[in-house]
Amino acid sequence: MERKLQVVVTGASSGIGYWTAYRFAVDHGADVIAMGRRANQLESLRKKVLEVGVKGKIHPIQIDLEEAENDSIYNNVYNHFKSVDILINNAGVLIKKPLLEITRLDLERTYRVNTFSQVSIVQALFPLIREGGTKHIINISSIGGILGTQKFSGLSAYSSSKGAVGILTECMAEELKEFDIKVNGLAFGAVQTEMLSSAFPGYIAPISDVDISRFVVDFAINGHQYFNGKVLPVSSSNP
């Protein structure tokens, strides 16, 4: 009997994380721990997968990775999985403010969610990822976090935090390679999500969160065979 994929997706309450968790469960029959802050959205995701009648399953975990301790992250996952094949570090926040109005609290919150939490969850789940099959960590970044790309007013905190994710991805890959754990980043351009709509009302992105989730899942399952320590731009537009 083929072993089911065991996947952890953060930021699964909405957007890319929500549909990525859905695709893993529905298209690949995976068991997915869906982490997020909004319990009602996670429960909606669980029921949506259940209604399809597939072998995959959603395990909702309401957690705020901005504040969660490593022990809490580990225990929540270990209650369901004894190993993790794939980790999708997708949780993120976007605070749109002009540079001269950004506060230290804005910067700290942005970096805690977008950058620091990725370190915490990898530290917390390392013992389980080491025991996994695929052993692939995907850090979600942004085109705005890549040097030399077009930048937009109001996104200094967001884009710089995502730039840090890119370097962090390279460092993670180097430090974890001795355990045969692969780490890659996906730097997205504009994707139609709740977060984008809130920051840029009226703007319509060229690709939806539903569509991009298919790419995330495929890359997570297969990309580790070809890439390690790479941050790949994924965009059909500028941004």
Which amino acids are annotated catalytic? 158
Strands (E), the chain: 6-9, 31-36, 57-62, 86-89, 136-142, 182-188, 231-234
Which residues, at least 6 apart from 5, have a Cβ–Cβ distance to it below 8 Å?
A: 24, 28, 29, 30, 31, 85, 86, 133, 134, 221
Q: E strand or H helix at 126, and its extent?
A: helix 117-130
Is-cis flag, bond preceding 201, omega within 30? Answer: no
The residues with which 57 forms a beta bridge, in sequence order, are 31
Phi, psi of 184 (to 5 degrees): -135, 160
